[in-house]
Amino acid sequence: MTLNKRQTDVLLTIIKNYIMTGQPVGSRTVSKDSTLKLSPASIRNIMADLSDAGYIEQPHTSAGRIPTAKGFRIYLDSNLEVEPVSSEIQEKIKATLTSVGPDLSQTLSQACKLLSVLSNQISLIITPSHQLIRWQQIDFVLLRPGLVMSILIMEGGMIQNKVIKVDKEISSDDLIRFSNYLNEHYQGKTLQHVRAGILDQMKNARQQFEHLYENALKLAQESFQNTTRKVFVEGTHYLFTGNEHADINKMRELFRMLEEKSKLLKLLDQTIESRNLNIILGQEQKMDELSDFSLISSPYSLQDNIGTVSIIGPTRMNYSKIVPAVDLTAKILSQFLQEIYENSEAE
């Protein structure tokens, strides 16, 4: 069914009222707020057609209607009018990112906190895939006999630390030799290339290397075991703000999803493929955890690697305000990381 002008006007009036109040919208309200100047009786006829076509529905026994995912999709794809982000907010985002220095984890954490405050929703930022990021340096620190901290630094400011169990006979001098050997062989190469090279060399380590370098390769391999992406989550308390009518069981399911993260990463990976801002309605995904919620996601880039900046909020959240905030944060983050990377290249 293709909506005509009257049907579109009624649908948008219902959606905008529902976003503001969270309550079912009746024909009298639509009659008063729409531009059609029609009587409530005429509006009811149009609402009946929209209900039959699946754009609105009647919750429980209420006389009013609320938009369905199908109705929201019409609004989001064709009729959403975004509010420009003020220059003050833009400067605040830039200042927040530059205040934490080049460390990627701290930068993403601060960006995540700020976006949550700006949107009054749950914010999420995932780090890019590490496969194409280049190795800059690895160092090992002896914490105590048998326990080592590996510090893997990647071009662009990514730092990954991991505590590794080793033979108690390995000394601090051994660790220096390990790191010197690895940095000499792998500096400037992508982690994907390094991982493959280390695995290949380990197969032949006994024939080609001293026992010392066999241990160095094993340590490097251990350092790579946790190069999965990290998910920063902020603002879970906003789930209970303005969601008085939400299903408490659905909230619990969403919390579990945020804790487990694997399902969330799979969903966010779908948004990365398009390399554009995406708005995913939970009802469309047939995911119980997101059935009452929406996900707004925009990609940011570090070299050739893509991460995402996202907001999870109720289906009736203020898209006009939140969509541009998410998109702008991703763009500023990309620009900031690019500047850091260019500086590290120049040095």
Q: Residue 260's pLDDT is what? A: 73
| Ramachandran angles phi, psi of 22, nearest 5° | 75, 5
Question: Alpha carbon of 281 to those of 58, 77, 84, 182: distances in Å?
Answer: 19, 12, 23, 46
Question: Alpha carbon of 279 to those of 17, 54, 182, 270: distances in Å?
Answer: 20, 20, 43, 11
Instruction: Indicate the fold that domain 135-226 takes in CATH.
Output: Enolase-like; domain 1 (3.30.390)
Looking at the predicted structure, is the pLDDT value of residue 320 above 50? Answer: yes
Check: CB of residue 345 under 8 Å from CB of residue 338: no
Q: What is the mean pLDDT of the chain?
A: 81
Check: CB of residue 317 under 8 Å from CB of residue 122: no
The pair of structure tokens assigned to 337 is 């990381």
Q: Residue 28's pLDDT is what? A: 94
Instruction: Indicate the fold that domain 5-79 takes in CATH.
Output: Arc Repressor Mutant, subunit A (1.10.10)
| Per-residue b or e along 308-338, where b marks 16 or more CB atoms closer than 10 Å to that residue's CB | bbbbbbbbbbbbeebbbbbbbbbbbbbebbe
The percent of residues in the chain predicted with pLDDT above 70, rounded, is: 80
Burial class (CB in 10 A: 0-12, 13-18, 19+), 251: middle
- Segments making up each domain of the chain, as ranges: 5-79, 87-129+229-346, 135-226
Q: Residue 207's pLDDT is what? A: 43
Give pLDDT tens digits for 172-223: 888 888 888 888 888 887 776 776 776 666 555 444 444 545 666 666 666 5
Place of tokens 């009736």: 316
The pair of structure tokens assigned to 174 is 């051994």
Looking at the predicted structure, is the pLDDT value of residue 243 above 70? Answer: no
Give pLDDT tens digits for 33-86: 999 989 999 999 999 999 999 999 998 766 799 999 999 999 999 899 999 999
Position with higher pLDDT, 271 vs 57: 57
CA trace torsion 312, 317, 322, 327 (10° rounding): 50
CA distance linking residue 22 with residue 67, whole number of Å: 11
Least confident of 7-16, 197-206, 276-285: 197-206
Looking at the predicted structure, is the pLDDT value of residue 248 above 50? Answer: yes
pLDDT mean over 250-276: 75
Check: CB of residue 224 under 8 Å from CB of residue 260: no
Looking at the predicted structure, is the pLDDT value of residue 285 above 70? Answer: yes
The model's confidence at residue 319, banded by pLDDT at 50, 70 and 90, is: very high
pTM of this structure: 0.74
CA distance linking residue 315 with residue 281, whole number of Å: 7
Give the Cβ contact number of residue 81 at 10 Å.
6
Please spell the DSSP secondary structure of 24-58, one letter per residue: -B-HHHHHHHSSS---HHHHHHHHHHHHHTTSEE-
Residue ranges in 142-227 assigned as alpha helix (H): 172-186, 191-203, 205-208, 211-223
Place of tokens 């500096």: 187
Burial class (CB in 10 A: 0-12, 13-18, 19+), 91: exposed
CATH superfamily of this structure's domain 87-129+229-346 = GAF domain (3.30.450.40)
pLDDT mean over 271-286: 81
Give the Cβ contact number of residue 97 at 10 Å.
23
Q: Residue 317's pLDDT is what? A: 92
Please spell the DSSP secondary structure of 68-103, one letter per residue: -HHHHHHIIIII--PPPPPHHHHHHHHHHHHTTTT-
The DSSP code for 294 is: E
Position with higher pLDDT, 314 vs 287: 314
The pair of structure tokens assigned to 313 is 């909020």
CA distance linking residue 300 with residue 291, whole number of Å: 26
pLDDT mean over 126-144: 78
Give pLDDT tens digits for 86-115: 999 999 998 888 887 667 778 889 999 999
Looking at the predicted structure, is the pLDDT value of residue 244 above 60? Answer: no
